[in-house]
A and B are shown apart, each in its own frame.
Chain A
Amino acid sequence: MTSAHSKLYSDDVSLVVVVVDTNPFFWAGAALPFADFLSHVLHFVNSLLLLSNLNHVVIIAAGVSSCAYVFDSGNAGASGAADVAETLGKASRKMEEFIKQDARETASNGTVADGGAASLFSGALSLALCYIQRIFRSGTRHPQPRILCLQGSPDGPEQYVAVMNSIFSAQRSMVPIDTCIVGTQDSAFLQQASYITGGVYMKPQELSGLFQYLAAVFATDLHSRTFLRLPKTLGVDFRASCFCHKKTIDMGYVCSVCLSIFCKYHKKCSTCGIAYAEHFP
């Protein structure tokens, strides 16, 4: 997919919406402590703001029970972009508040119990896209938007439809979704997201050098990416999972009415309840 070339955008001004995974179940057992991770990310945000004084960065946190905006460089005030310490301080404080609030909500909500819980990634992605639409409405000369996802928790299969809807909306608005996996397992949702929208998917091998990976791969604006050799993902898994067992299949049966996927032939569709006309062997 080609990048978003358009005469309406100023070439190297970007709007980066960073979606940060703050799932406490994941960070409790992660190799890199959350405080170090956050300092890598905030230094990266500062370097983005220093690249051009028109650059705009927004941070959205995806927790286990809620999502919220944590930082917006547009609100920083007249000298905000130049005052590095102030930016860092504000963002850290807001992030701490969000994590405490999220923990309170998780504790009061009895449904989240196990350690394999996914963060509310679909919610954060939807918020990011709404913000980007607001920037599109702000006039003809606006920055080129992109989304950077820092994900560590596993994918929640219940979020599949919502994540796919967000991916298609991003594709239509020509917003690339970049991914940097800070956990141990690859994320099938984010691989598909980056492939479909034309973004970069990367899983760094050394998490202690995270800032270097972020600055080398994800800091460039969309126009300059055409001149760079960025990491390419091979082998995006596009196979579907069947609705009955949730296992990945490479050949299956699809209901012609509701498009639900089954691994074996059934006489009736379990999603839409329709009975099938002809019988195939």
Chain B
Amino acid sequence: MDYRPSRMAVVAKCAEAFIREFFDQNPLSHVGLVTIKDGISHRLTEIGGSPESQINALMGKLECSGDSSLQNALELVNGYLNQIPSYGHKEVLFLYSALNTCDPGDIMETIEKCKKSKVRCSVIGLAAEIFICKHLCEETGGSYTVALDESHFKELLLEHAPPPPAIAEYAAANLIKMGFPQRGAEDLISICSCHKKIKSGAEGYICPRCKVNVCELPTECRTCGLTLVSSPHLARSYHHLFPVAPFDEVTFKLGQKGGQNCFGCQQSLINTGGQSNIHVRCPKCNHHFCFDCDIYIHESLHNCPGCESQRSSSR
């Protein structure tokens, strides 16, 4: 019934899967890890834009001991998140297994402070529902869920990966100056600014403003503070701007466009197994697809192959 081999191991493994999924869905975001032990909150990793450093910390030895203090964690996190510029969305996710919280002061004040700084706090509990967590989530607009078992816990955790809808007043829109570095020349030897190690230019990127060598993207240049990204990072979010229209369900008719095969995967659309012959059709290009292609197109590919295979006048 309880988490095997230990709650800590299960939480660390699910957190690793969450971090990978999170960076997949939010390529320009930053994540940091904080632990609560013996009533004190420690920073496990710095807030960073790449998953590797976070995952390395999770794979290390994590020990549990002592009481947990929700207030200390909130104070620490508030301190870090106050440095984030106004266009960023601030969120805290607690993975909470304790049944109480031992705080040095008034936790209600801390919750008010979080609410004022617009930090959205969510909690996933592993034990039972606690009033203070529920109150925290309700006040700050987060979600509180309690996991029933390991697979349910993973499901609840992955639900937090896609970005929540943002309220317009909370995040002011800004034009952010960013750099798009190129890979350095092969024969250039320099010291990378993140690890202070000697690297050949071809393995790193050169900041366009201060010409310093950085190892990975996205990152912030340590010398001049310019945010450095590559165009694929921004392109990862473009499918939200140009979504694929939902397909209509239709039944098979003789002589329909494309014959009796799915346009995407060439599978036959006629089921001889007695199931009703419904499949889907794109309302823009009128090509017919099977249900599996429909799911793949809308969840992962974000392109309709039919619309892309046509040269319409809007191109």
Contacts and interface: CB of A to CB of B under 8 A. Distances in A.
Contacts of A111: 311, 313, 315
B32 interface: no
In this complex, which of B175, B179, B235 has the most chain A Cβ atoms within 10 angstroms of its Cβ?
A: B175
A277 B172 contact: yes
Interface stretch (A37-45, A129-137, A146-154, A215-223): A129-137
Given A130-B264, A251-B226, A124 B309 contact: yes
Nearest to A126: B305
A133 B265 contact: yes
Interface in B274-315: 292-293, 296-297, 300-306, 308-311, 313, 315
A67 B309 contact: yes
B53 interface: no
B131 interface: no
Interface stretch (B5-13, B141-149, B181-189): B181-189
A238 B182 contact: yes
B264 A65 contact: no
Contacts of B182: 235, 237-239, 250
Contacts of A129: 296, 301
Secondary structure class of chain B's binding surface, majority of residues: loop
B266 A72 contact: yes
Given A133-B296, A172-B300, A252-B178, A259 B232 contact: no
B163 to A, nearest CB: 12
Nearest to B312: A111
B178 A253 contact: yes
B87 interface: yes
B176 A256 contact: yes
Nearest to B237: A259
A29 to B, nearest CB: 20
Interface residues of A, number: 70
B16 interface: no
A250 B180 contact: yes
Contacts of A280: 174-175, 177
A123 interface: yes
Contacts of A269: 173, 175
Contact of B173 (A66, A158, A165, A274): A274
18 contacts: A69-B266, A111-B311, A122-B303, A126-B304, A126-B308, A129-B296, A130-B264, A130-B301, A134-B266, A137-B292, A156-B315, A162-B308, A240-B180, A250-B208, A252-B178, A254-B177, A254-B178, A254-B229
Interface of B: 24, 28, 86-87, 171-183, 186, 202, 208-209, 226, 229-232, 234-239, 241-242, 262-267, 292-293, 296-297, 300-306, 308-311, 313, 315
A-B pairs, top 5 by smallest CB distance, nearest first, are A123-B309, A130-B264, A123-B308, A134-B265, A126-B305
Given A126-B264, A130-B301, 17 more contacts: A111-B311, A111-B313, A126-B309, A129-B296, A130-B296, A131-B266, A133-B293, A161-B238, A161-B239, A192-B232, A196-B232, A239-B231, A240-B180, A240-B234, A250-B180, A259-B241, A269-B173
